[in-house]
Each structure stands twice: as C-alpha cells, then as structure tokens.
Homo-oligomer: A and B are copies of this chain.
Amino acid sequence: MLHPDRFLSPVPTVRTIARRLYERTKDLPIVGPHGHVAPALLAENAPFPEPTTLFLSPDHYLFRMLYSQGVAMESLGVPPDGPDGQDVAVESDPRVIWQTFADHYHLFRGTPSRAWLDYELYEVFGVSKRLTSATAQSVYDQLAERLQEDAFRPRALFDRFGIEVLTTTDKASDDLIAHDRIRTSEWDGDVRPCFRPDALFRIADGGWNDELDLLRAATDADISDYRGFVAALEDRRTFFRQHGCVSTDHAVETLATQRVAEAEVKAVFQRALRGEASTDDQAVFEAHMLMEMARMSCEDGLVMQIHPGALRDHHTAVYRRFGPDKGADIPLRTEFTRALRPLLNAYGAHPNYRLVVFTLDETTYARELAPLAGHYPALRLGPPWWFHDSIEGMLRFRRRTTETAGIYNTAGFNDDTRAFCSIPARHDLARRVDASYLATLVARHQIAEEEAQSMARALAYDLVRTTYRLDEETTAEA
C-alpha cells in the first residue's frame, strides 16, 4: 500500500532523477545520533506487550492530535504521571484505545505521523488492510500476532531496520546499566548513551536538589561548592565516554551563552544549594554552564548539541494530571546571532570542538544559522527538529540553508524519536525528501547528477558519521 515514489516531487523530471538518487541511499545503514528510545528495551529484549503500548503510548505526536479534537487523554490510556495524577482514571483496555485511535485516523492526513504510521503498519508489520474504524480490530489482531514472533522483538527489529548506531538520551547521573547489559550481551548492536545534564543546571527548579543528590550518588565527589560540581560533571563525562558516548545534549528555553566570573558563579551556586536561587540566577548559571560544557568538549571531544526554544508544559492542567511530554510543548521565537556569540568566539574555531545546533524557529535558518555555520568551523546545523521533521519542513530547511552554508555544514539526519518502530520510517522519509530536493538542483542544472549522488549519500550517511565523530576515537587533549 506504500507507493514506491511516495514523498518525491510530482514534477516529472525531478521525480525521475529523485528515484535514481533514492535508489542509492535507501539501503544504507541507519545511524541515529540523537533519540529517545529507552535503552532498557534493547537490554531486556522482551516482546512488545501489544500494539497500543507499542504504537500509541510513547508517541505524544499522536495523542496530542486526538486531544486537540476533543478526545480526552483519559480515553487514550495516557498514564497520569503528573503531580495531580493520582485521582485520574484512564482507559485500560488497549483494544478500546486502539479503536478510538482508528476512528480518528483521518486527523493525521497530510502529517508526517500518518506517513510514519503507514510505513510501520504496512512495511514493518505487513498489515494487509488499511486502518479504518471498520478494520481497527482486525488490524490490531494482525499486529498482536506479529508481536509474539521472535522476529518482532526489539533486537531483531533493530537488526532488520539496518541500524548501525542508535543513541539514547540519558541523565548525567544515569548508571548506564542498560547500556552495560547491551554491551556485555552476545548481541552486537551499537547503542550509545548521550550525556544530558540539563536538570542539573536548572537551579531555580524545585527538583534541583534531588537531581544534585543523584549526581552525588553517581560520583564519589563532594559537591559542596561550584568547583566540586564541575569536577563531578567532568567525572560523569568520563564515565559516559567509557560507555561509548560521543555527544552531549542541552535543552534551554531561552538561549544565552556567557562566561561568568568565578566569584559570581560560586555565589550563585551557594544560593542554589540553600534553595534560594532565582530564575535570574538560573539564567546566568545556564549561560555559564553552556560555556563550561563547550570547554569540556574541547578537552574530551564530546560533540555538543543544543536544543533551544521550547516552552515545556504550556498547558498546566495537562501537566499536573499527566506529567511532562504530553504534546503541550510550544516553540518560542529564538535568537542565535547574539546568543551564541560568546560561545563561538571562545570555542568556535577550536579544532577539538564540535557544536550541533537545532531550532524550532525556522526564521533563523537563513537569517542566522546558515551564516553562522558558513563561517565557524566548529558549527554544524542539526536537521529539522520535532514539528519540522516533515516533508515541507525538510524542504524549507534545505532551501533556506544550502545556498549559504552548503550541505557539508549540516549534520545529516536524526530521528529524535521514542517510538522505536518509527525509526526506519523516519529515515526513509528523510532520504526520499533529500533525494527530491537534490533532484531539483539537478533538474535546474545547478549540479551534475554524479554530484547529487555523492550529496545524497552524504546526507543519508556520511555527514552523520563525521559530524558525530563515529569514525574517530574521541580523545581527550594531551
């Protein structure tokens, strides 16, 4: 049911060229340098329990859309993980939830979720019927049957998907036991952690001291002052690197980078320890810690990623009942030219530094990010992120960045997903859209088709490996 030319331009010459380009990238291995799959999934390798848990529960792209059309979160079985969630009763019959989902499947027309889901249903699971209200239960049956087969366990799917590297996202204090179990198992899948210390920088947040305790527990360090805190972070970065980690990740609501004088940052840290840090203190601290993370990256070679500009948990009532990541994170206007200047001036030409920047504000593609990436050696542009990980979103990204930064200052694709079975769907869509974009350049006689072939391969495979230094050992400076 999937058309072989899907997502390619309908312009005849462009489609013909795109088809040839895609033919050369479609079977390349998948390298996932950034995502949110739980490593325990692959450590345990247990069968997925049933279709609803596999498809819907981890995917806020999906229940978000149904919620926006008046379908209650409760009826979708979304677990009530918020602080006020104890009194929330949710639907527990996965077949009932699946039916509700199928009844609203039309809402996804024209969205990437629809493209991914179709791929998962028809390509990954070989479902033989279109998902509709009428077929919902028999589609569920087909899926449930497949999930009992060994070929549909996580590791088997990982291998079938052609995943060469999969990166998870892990708290700075994580023990990485799941990663250990994978590494010491007989299975040779390459699953790597990513160091994400955000929670430790949010010093005005009520939960900060708990996070600090987790960090203390994970290290032997005495974290009674700022120096100890920095030493503990360095310690954890070493631990992560020993577990195959090649990157760090940093999410901030408002982007700023600024080194603060030692005396001031020490004072801020003491206020935080006393539970007295203000939101202004936190802004100063986050801006400073991004500088520190860059400094450490110059030393240990970890590739630094920044994901700025999402206002998390915009809908307080949903957060209080269901917790974070429930489809209510809304982008903000974001500024890079001034915000990154201190960081790029300090480290942007350092030979051991690599920074990958993502944005939810597409206006910065051509105005700020492409010009920055077209100058600073350390900077690469991450692929279209989150809401923009879609056909039109990807086309906008390429059209607005390539003319100024070229493609070689971009970081290849990453799927950024917690929905495991959507990984091959997402890479396939990206490869098709990139092939189509490049085919337009060929059809307009901007480049030769041989060049486009090499570029298509770079976008699908080479750039992600070089950007994330997967072919180098990440080595600390002498």
Interface residues, chain A, CB within 8 Å of chain B? 2-3, 5-14, 64-65, 67-70, 106-112, 114-115, 311, 314-318, 327-333, 335, 337-338, 341, 344-345, 348-349, 351, 360-363, 366-368, 370-377, 379, 387-388, 390-393, 399-400, 402-409, 440-441, 443-447, 451, 454-455
Contacts and interface: CB of A to CB of B under 8 A. Distances in A.
Nearest to A395: B399
A403 B116 CA distance: 12
A362 B314 CA distance: 21
A379 B64 CA distance: 13
A64 B311 contact: no
B374 A114 contact: no
B444 A8 contact: yes
A301 to B, nearest CB: 15
B451 A106 contact: yes
Given A314-B341, A331-B337, A409 B444 contact: no
Contacts of A447: 109-110, 114
How many of these chains are in the complex?
A: 3
A13 B8 CA distance: 13
B331 A317 contact: no
Given A331-B371, A361-B367, A111 B10 contact: no
A446 B328 contact: no
Nearest to A432: B444
A69 B451 contact: no
A188 to B, nearest CB: 33
Contacts of A374: 64-65, 68, 327
A49 to B, nearest CB: 27
Contact of A11 (B11, B316, B390, B406): B11
Contact of A114 (B5, B367, B446): B446
Given A112-B403, A390-B403, 13 more contacts: A3-B445, A5-B445, A10-B440, A68-B409, A106-B454, A114-B446, A311-B337, A311-B341, A317-B349, A332-B338, A391-B403, A392-B399, A393-B403
Contact of A406 (B107, B332, B345, B393): B107
A111 B402 contact: yes
A110 B406 contact: yes
B444 A110 contact: no
Contacts of A311: 337-338, 341
A309 to B, nearest CB: 9
A69 B10 CA distance: 35
Contacts of A67: 375, 377
A251 to B, nearest CB: 16
B405 A68 contact: yes
